[in-house]
A and B are shown apart, each in its own frame.
Chain A
Amino acid sequence: MSLLDRKLLRDLRALKSQALAVALVMACGLTMMVMTRSLIVSLESARTRYYEEYRFADVFARMKRAPDDVARRIAEIPGVAAVQPSVGRMVTIDLAGLPEPVMAWFATVPERGEPLLNRLHLRRGRLLEPDARGEILVSEAFAEVHGLGPGDELAAILNGRKVPLRIAGIVLSPEFVFEAPPGAALPDNRTFAVVWMNYKELAEAFNMEGAFNQVSLALEPGASERSVIAELDRLLVPYGGLRAYGRAHHASDVRVNDEIRVLLGLSVGFPIVFLAVGAFMTHAVMSRQITLQREQIAMLKACGFGRREIGLHYLKFAIVIVAVGTVLGVIGGVLLGHRLVDLYHRFFRFPDLHFELATGVLFAAAAASALSAVVGVGGAVRRAMRLPPAEAMRPEPPAQFEPSFVERIGIGRFMGVSLRMALRNLQRKPVQALLTATALSLATAILIIPNAFRDGVSYVLDFQWDIVQRQSVTVSLVEPGPARALADFRTLPGVVSTEPFRATPVELVSGPIARRINLIGLRGEGGLSRVLDGELRQIVLPPRGIVLSSKLGEVLGVGIGDEVLVRSLEGKRVERRVPVAAFAEDFAGVSAFMELTALNRLLLEGDLVTGAYIAVDRGRWTDFLAAVKETPRATSVVVKEAMRESFRKTTAESIGVLQMIYLLFATLVAFGIVYNSARISLSERARELATLRVLGFTRGEVGAVLVGELTLLALLAVPVGLWVGGWLAQGLLTIVNTETVRLPLVLTLANYSFAASVITVATVVSLLVAARRIREIDLVSALKVRD
Chain B
Amino acid sequence: MTALARPPAAPPARPPDPARGEVVFHVRNLSKTYGTGEAAVHALAGVDLDFRQGELVVLLGPSGSGKSTLLNLLGGLDTPSAGTLLYRGWDLGAADEAGLTQYRREDVGFVFQAYNLIPSLTARENVGLIGELASDPLPPEEALRLVGLGARLDHFPAQLSGGEQQRVAIARAIAKRPRVLLCDEPTGALDVRTGIVVLEAIESINRELGTLAAIITHNAVMAAMADRVFSLSDGRVVNVQTNAQRAPVSTLAW
Which residues of A are at the interface with B, using a C-beta cutoff of 8 A?
Answer: 2-4, 6-7, 10-11, 14, 295-296, 298-299, 301-307, 388-390, 393, 781, 785-787
Contact = CB atoms under 8 A, between A and B. Distances in A.
A694 to B, nearest CB: 19
Contacts of A781: 158
Contacts of B103: 304
18 contacts: A2-B132, A4-B132, A7-B120, A7-B125, A7-B129, A11-B120, A302-B108, A302-B112, A303-B105, A304-B102, A304-B104, A304-B105, A304-B176, A306-B105, A393-B116, A781-B158, A787-B119, A787-B165
B252 interface: no
Interface stretch (B10-18, B71-79, B142-150): B71-79
B116 A787 contact: yes
Contact of B114 (A3, A11, A786): A786
A302 B103 CA distance: 10
Contacts of B172: 303
Contact of B116 (A3, A10, A14, A296): A296
Contacts of B195: none
A14 B118 CA distance: 13
Interface in B91-125: 97-98, 101-106, 108-110, 112, 114-121, 125
A305 B130 CA distance: 9
B254 to A, nearest CB: 20
B189 interface: yes
A301 B104 contact: yes
Contact of B120 (A14, A298, A303): A14
B238 interface: no
B105 A785 contact: no
Contacts of A301: 77, 101, 104
Contact of B105 (A2, A296, A305): A305
A7 B130 contact: no
Contact of B125 (A6, A305, A306, A787): A6
B98 A3 contact: no
Contacts of A14: 120
B106 A304 contact: yes
A787 B112 CA distance: 11
Nearest to B105: A304
B186 interface: no
Contacts of A306: 98, 101, 105
Interface in B122-143: 125, 128-130, 132-133
A252 B158 CA distance: 69
A390 B78 contact: yes
B133 A787 contact: no
Contacts of B128: 3
Nearest to A306: B101
Contacts of B112: 299, 302, 393
Contact of A303 (B130, B158, B184): B130
A390 B116 CA distance: 13
Nearest to B131: A3
Residue with the highest number of chain A CB atoms closer than 10 Å, among B109, B119, B184? B119
B2 to A, nearest CB: 18
A3 B130 CA distance: 9
Nearest to A393: B112
Interface in B143-179: 157-158, 165, 172-173, 176
Contact of A296 (B101, B118, B158): B118
Contacts of B115: 787
B132 A304 contact: no
A382 to B, nearest CB: 14
Contacts of A4: 129, 132
A415 to B, nearest CB: 36
B118 A393 contact: no
A298 B116 contact: yes
B212 to A, nearest CB: 17
A266 B108 CA distance: 56
A302 B129 contact: no
Given A303-B104, A305-B101, 7 more contacts: A6-B121, A10-B120, A296-B116, A303-B133, A304-B108, A390-B78, A781-B158
Contacts of B106: 304
Contacts of A786: 114
The majority secondary structure among interface residues of chain A is helix
A286 to B, nearest CB: 16
A303 B110 contact: yes
Contact of B133 (A305, A307, A390): A305
A304 B120 contact: no
Nearest to B34: A391
Contacts of B72: 390, 393
A739 B130 CA distance: 65
A320 to B, nearest CB: 14
Contacts of B105: 303-306
A295 B129 CA distance: 16
Contacts of A295: 114, 116
Nearest to B130: A303
A605 to B, nearest CB: 87
A303 B104 CA distance: 6
A786 B112 CA distance: 12
B121 A307 contact: no
B228 to A, nearest CB: 24
Given A787-B114, A787-B116, A787-B165, A302 B78 contact: no
B121 A7 contact: yes
Contact of B104 (A11, A302, A785): A302
Contacts of B78: 388-390
A301 B105 CA distance: 9
A786 B165 CA distance: 13
Contact of B77 (A7, A296, A390): A390
A305 B118 CA distance: 14
**Which of B75, B98, B103, B110 lies at the interface centre, i.e. has the most chain A CB atoms within 10 A of its CB?**
B110
Nearest to A395: B114
A787 B106 CA distance: 24
Contacts of B165: 787
Contacts of A2: 132
A266 to B, nearest CB: 41
B134 to A, nearest CB: 8
Contacts of B97: 307
A303 B110 CA distance: 7
Nearest to B117: A787
B125 A299 contact: no
Nearest to B165: A787
Contact of A302 (B98, B110, B117, B158): B110
Interface in B59-97: 72, 75, 77-78, 97
Nearest to B116: A299
A787 B157 CA distance: 9
Nearest to A305: B133
A607 B164 CA distance: 105
A3 B121 contact: yes
Contacts of B120: 6-7, 10-11, 14
Most buried by B among A4, A296, A304: A304
B101 A304 contact: yes
Nearest to B98: A306
A299 B114 CA distance: 10
A389 B182 CA distance: 14
Given A7-B120, A304-B104, A787-B119, A389 B157 contact: no
A390 B68 CA distance: 9
A779 to B, nearest CB: 15
Given A295-B116, A302-B75, A390-B72, A3 B132 contact: yes
A288 to B, nearest CB: 16
A785 B185 CA distance: 14
A458 B121 CA distance: 57
B129 A389 contact: no
A160 B178 CA distance: 105
A301 B103 CA distance: 11
A743 B102 CA distance: 62
Contacts of A302: 75, 77, 104, 108, 110, 112, 116
A785 B75 contact: no
